[in-house]
Chains A and B, each alone.
Chain A
Amino acid sequence: MNSLILTLISIVLTITVYFGATALSRRVVSPFTTPILTATIVMIVILSSFDISYEQYSSAKEWITSLLGPATVALAVPLYKNREIIMEKLMPAVFGLVIGTLSTILSAVWISKTLGLSDTIQATSAVKAVTTPVAIEAVVLIGGDPALAAAFVITSGIFGAVFGPALLTVTNISDPFSRGLGIGTVSHGIGTSQAVAEGPVTGAVSSVAMGASAIITSIILPWVYPLIQL
C-alpha cells in the first residue's frame, strides 16, 4: 500500500516537474533551461531531500518509461512525411554518419587516455554516444562496464540536448537535416527529444541518425577498438 502511494506520488511529481521545466524553457530561452536538464536536477534534489532512493523511485520509472518505446516508434510519422527531403540527402548523410560515428568513438577514447582514466573507463567511453540498450551490449565486447555505460550515455545525451543546438548555430550549421543528423549521432534519443523541438525534419533525421549510429557503432567497435590500442 505504502509503496503504491509512493509510486503514484512519484509519477505525478515527475510529470509536474517535467511540465514546469518545459514552461520555464519557453519563458527563458537558454541552453541551461533545456527541460531534460532542469527536470532531472529538480527531481534529483527532491528525491534526495526526501531520502527517496533511486531504487524506491524505480516503479514510477517503469510506468513513465513504458511509453518511451512507443514514442520512438512514433518517430516514423515525421520520417514518413519528410521522406523526400531525407532521400535527397542520403549520400551526404551516410558519409556524415560513418565519419561522425568514428570520430566520436576515437575522440572519446583518446581524451580518456590523455586524462589518464582507467582501461575500463576508456572502453566504456567508446559507446557513450549510442542509445542505452545497444551501448550496454556493445560495451561488454570491448571490456567496458555496462552500468557505467548507461551513465555515460545519459550524460552524453543531456550534454548534446543542452549544448548541441547552440553549438551548431555558432558554427553556422543551419541546415535542419544536418543539425538533426549531428544531434542524433552524438546524443541518441535524449538529443532527439530536443531536436524535435526544432522542427519535424530535424527531429525525424535525428531519430534515424540515432538508430544508424547505434548499428554502425556496434558493428565496427569490436574491430576498431583493438586498433586504437596499438
Chain B
Amino acid sequence: MKNVLLFLIQIFLLWAIYQFSSFIVGNLDFPIPASVLGMILLYILLSSGIIQIRYIEKSASFLIRHLALFFVPFAVGLMNYAGLIKTTGMQLLLMIAGSTIIGLLITAGLTQSLSRREKERTHHEQSHSHSH
C-alpha cells in the first residue's frame, strides 16, 4: 500500500513538472514542446540535486517502459483518414517511407562516422603523448 502511494506521488511529481512546462510554453513565443521543456527542467532539477534520482526512478522507468501505450490513441486517429488513404495512400506512404529512410540513415550514419573519427583522433593523441 505504501509503495503504491509512493508510486502515485512520483507520477504526480512528473505530472506537476509537465503542467508547469505547459504553462510556460503557453506564455512563450518559442517553438518547444511542453514535454521537452519539462524534460529539460527535470534534468536541471536532477543535476542540481534538488530532486534525487531515487525519488522518481520507479515511476519514471514504468512510464518510459509503456511510452508506446500513450501514443496508441493518437495513432487510432488515422482511422479518420480512410478516404485520403484510398485516393493517395500509396504516394503518401512512399513519401513518408522514402524521406524517413533518407533522414534516418543520414542522421545516424553521419553521427556514427563522425564520433568514430573523433574517437580515433583522441586515441591517436593519447598514444602519441604516451610515447613521449
Contact = CB atoms under 8 A, between A and B. Distances in A.
Nearest to B88: A117
A75 B111 CA distance: 21
B72 interface: yes
Contacts of B46: 76-77, 80
Contacts of A175: 111-112, 115-116
Interface in A159-215: 159-161, 163-164, 167-168, 171, 173-175, 177-179, 181-183, 185-187, 189-190, 192-194, 196, 203, 207, 209-211, 214-215
Interface residues of B, number: 75
A33 interface: no
A196 B22 CA distance: 24
Interface of B: 11, 14-15, 17-19, 21-22, 31-36, 38-43, 46-47, 53, 56-57, 59-61, 63-81, 84, 88, 91-112, 114-116, 118
Interface of A: 14-15, 17-18, 22, 35-36, 39-40, 43-44, 47-48, 54, 57, 60-61, 64-65, 67-81, 83, 89, 91-93, 95-97, 99-101, 103-104, 107-108, 111-112, 115-117, 121, 125, 128-129, 131-134, 137-138, 148, 150-152, 154-161, 163-164, 167-168, 171, 173-175, 177-179, 181-183, 185-187, 189-190, 192-194, 196, 203, 207, 209-211, 214-215, 218-219
